[in-house]
Amino acid sequence: MATPNPIRAFLILSSFSALYVLSLFYRVSNAVIAPNLCSDLGLNAETLGILGGSYFYSFALFQIPLGPMLDRISPRVIVACFSLIGATGAFLFGSGQSFTAALFGKALNGAGMACVLMGALKVFTLEFPARKFTTLMGIMVSIGMLGTVLAASPLAYLTFLMGWRMIFLMAGVITILLAFLLFWILRENKPKGASHAFPGPAELKVGVLPSVRLVLGSLLFWQGATITFFRYGTFVSLQGLWLGPYLMEAKGYSPVQTGHVLILLAIGMIIGASIAGKLSDRTFPRPKRVILGGLSLYCLSLFPLVGTWEIQGSLWYGLIFFFIGFFNSFGIGVFSHVKETFPKSISGTVLTLLNFFTVAGAAVFMQSLGTIIEFFPKINGVYPARAYHLCFLVCFVAMAASLFVFTLSKKGEGREKYDEKEEIS
């Protein structure tokens, strides 16, 4: 497969990356504005966890129909329409005056942004050579992590200046502009020797139910789903919510100081994702060793947070957070590792089913950790440090267990190629 012309390739990558910046901003912003949400909406740890998890529950739920839609309808239409839904959710969340209104807005926001990464990966699969897939994904994730940077100290500062509501209204407007931009960029492209850029329904040989059965019947898929469930679930629940209150309540940091430290998670992810993508593609089609090595170090990076010893100073927290973000990024190779098992014609179904478990992990962990914290009575109006330490221990143990499951996959498994011309019934 030939790479698209440089201008089109740049526009595709940069536009999807910009939209992914907003997607990540939306999903992790609650960590810094948590005190504002609690005071404005009357939330406690449990309801704060439910509010944060609602984004991921709806995000995960929409992965199920999204895959067949990407396979059978132009990604151009799906990405644009879903992004407009995400913008609507941002408006509702920013203007909501009650927990219920904010919850509905956050859930709608999650549903709309569910298409961003998966839509991009579908386009990468169709328009770029397979050996560049993880590199492109790594670049996009690296750029997208700027959204988590913006959701740290910049968000804290802007919240002080104009309030969190105005920020989300502005983000919704930018989301709409990017939706129309991508609709224009992804217009039909007809390179020489090809009938059109995106396959139409006539080219698709695998039905919806047969393709789902094919994916769910693969042991490799379930091993990949398990590790991505715990990898992303532990990471984003900490980055997107619970590390913020931990630093502010247990360590006495201000929101701006907390944002400064949380930025190191994003910086680690930005640097790590591009490196992980290139390493995975160099070992294509067997990136398993790269994935296992990076995620094993990610698991070890979580251990200092369990409270076994006292961490003194923001410098140490910043260093730990950097390594957590850096090594977590090696998990992006799982998508390529699993995707290459199946026909390209159902790549959207494969990727979105895998992403369903990825985002479901975030929803489950974000809410479950809030429930654990709520079991501990407040002391002087804040939750004790041991409540957070228990949550961090749960994350460490869960990640270690998922690594064990992933190591059981057989060497070379997942490289069986199905004949694209064979109809699977």
CATH number (domain holding residue 71)? 1.20.1250.20
Q: pLDDT tens digits for the chain (425 residues)?
A: 556 788 888 999 999 999 999 999 998 888 889 889 999 999 888 888 899 889 988 988 898 888 888 888 888 999 999 999 999 999 999 999 999 999 999 999 999 999 999 999 889 988 888 778 888 888 998 898 888 888 888 898 899 899 999 999 999 999 999 999 999 998 865 544 444 444 444 444 567 788 888 889 888 899 999 999 999 999 989 987 889 889 998 898 988 888 889 889 989 988 998 888 888 777 655 678 889 999 999 999 999 999 988 888 889 999 999 999 999 999 988 988 888 778 877 888 888 899 899 988 988 898 899 899 989 998 888 899 999 999 999 999 999 999 999 988 664 444 444 444 444 44
The total domain count for the chain is: 1
With respect to residue 39, please indicate whether it lies within any of the assigned structural domains. yes
Contacts of 282 (CB under 8 A, 6+ apart): none
With respect to residue 3, please indicate whether it lies within any of the assigned structural domains. no
With respect to residue 125, please indicate whether it lies within any of the assigned structural domains. yes
Helix (H, G, I), strand (E, B) or coil at 379: strand
With respect to residue 422, please indicate whether it lies within any of the assigned structural domains. no
Half-sphere exposure of residue 193: CA atoms within 13 angstroms, side-chain side: 3
- Domain coverage including residue 335: 9-186+208-407
Residue among 246, 294, 181 nearest 31 (CA): 246
With respect to residue 195, please indicate whether it lies within any of the assigned structural domains. no
Contact 365, 52 (CB under 8 A): no
Count of all residues that appear for the chain in the document: 425
Residue the block writes with tokens 């009938």: 195
Contacts of 402 (CB under 8 A, 6+ apart): 226, 227, 229, 230, 231
Q: 15-54 b/e with 16+ CB inside 10 Å = b?
A: bbbbbbbbbbbbbbbbbbbbbbbbebbebebebbbbbbbb
Residue among 52, 263, 41, 235 nearest 151 (CA): 263
With respect to residue 194, please indicate whether it lies within any of the assigned structural domains. no
Contacts of 167 (CB under 8 A, 6+ apart): 94, 155, 158, 159
Is pTM, for the whole model, over 0.95? no
Contacts of 172 (CB under 8 A, 6+ apart): 87, 88, 89, 90, 91, 94
